[in-house]
Amino acid sequence: MTRGRFITFEGGEGAGKTTQIRHLAQRLAAGTRTIVQTREPGGSPAAESIRGLLVAGAPDRWDATSETLLHFTARREHLLHTIWPALDRGDWVISDRFADSTMAYQGYGHGLGREPIEQLYRLVVGDFRPDLTIILDLPAELGLQRATSRGPAENRYEKMPLEFHQRLRAGFLDIAKRDPGRCVVIPADAPTQTVADAIWRSVQQRLA
């Protein structure tokens, strides 16, 4: 059986990942593929329990190291119980966030740095990598406006200061620069359909 493909969506708050994942999943499912949509933190029963610890509460509830360890604990459960079994079945998996978010949020946003996160990645994830990572990019100010327009802040990351989100955006762009073979940066301040079409072209070009 042909192994499935793993596509991850990354970006700051309000980038539109949920909408674009839905568009891409519909296009891919129109063929003969089985699509599994999932998310981080979360994506399996144990990982969803950890998600509640990470997204709820005050912005300063955890320090950068504690957050990183919680994210990787949830990620291990996600891989073992959702991602790897689906790929072994030949399914295509689309995840709303993966390890690049930990690097961007904790490594760049909170200033933990790259090396601790890279070490944890090697321990927890090993050599496994997404086949394609879509990074939806837009100014931090616009992303926060979009996020807050939905109502009260949905998670503690949305409550963090603008400077944090600016470092976060710079982090995602640096991640893409370091790994252009895997990452595609898509401007997310364009109309929804324009963004969806750009993503679809990237998927066709990279994963044909």
pLDDT averaged over the chain? 95
For residue 200, being part of any structural domain is answered with: yes
Residue keyed to tokens 């990237």: 202
Q: What percent of the chain has pLDDT over 70?
A: 98
For residue 1, being part of any structural domain is answered with: no
The dihedral of CA 75, 65, 17, 47: what is its sign? positive
Mean pLDDT of 5-9: 98
Residue pair 90/189 in contact (Cβ under 8 Å)? The answer is: no
For residue 159, being part of any structural domain is answered with: yes
For residue 20, being part of any structural domain is answered with: yes
CATH code where residue 55 lies:
3.40.50.300
Helix (H, G, I), strand (E, B) or coil at 137: strand
Strands (E), the chain: 6-11, 35-39, 92-96, 132-137, 183-187
Residue pair 27/39 in contact (Cβ under 8 Å)? The answer is: no
Q: How many domains does the chain have?
A: 1
Task: For 31-68, give the DSSP string.
Answer: TT--EEEEESS-SSHHHHHHHHHHHSS-TTSS-HHHHH
For residue 99, being part of any structural domain is answered with: yes
**pLDDT tier at 155, thresholds 50, 70, 90:** confident
Helix (H, G, I), strand (E, B) or coil at 110: coil
For residue 136, being part of any structural domain is answered with: yes
Annotate 16-48 with b (16+ C-beta within 10 A) or e (fewer).
Answer: bbeebbebbbebbeeeeeebbbbbbbbbbebbe
Question: Tell me: the pLDDT tens digits for 162-176?
Answer: 999 999 999 999 999
Q: Is the pTM of this model over 0.75?
A: yes
Residue 56's domain comprises: 6-207
Question: Tell me: the pLDDT tens digits for 65-105?
Answer: 999 999 999 999 999 999 999 999 999 999 999 999 999 99
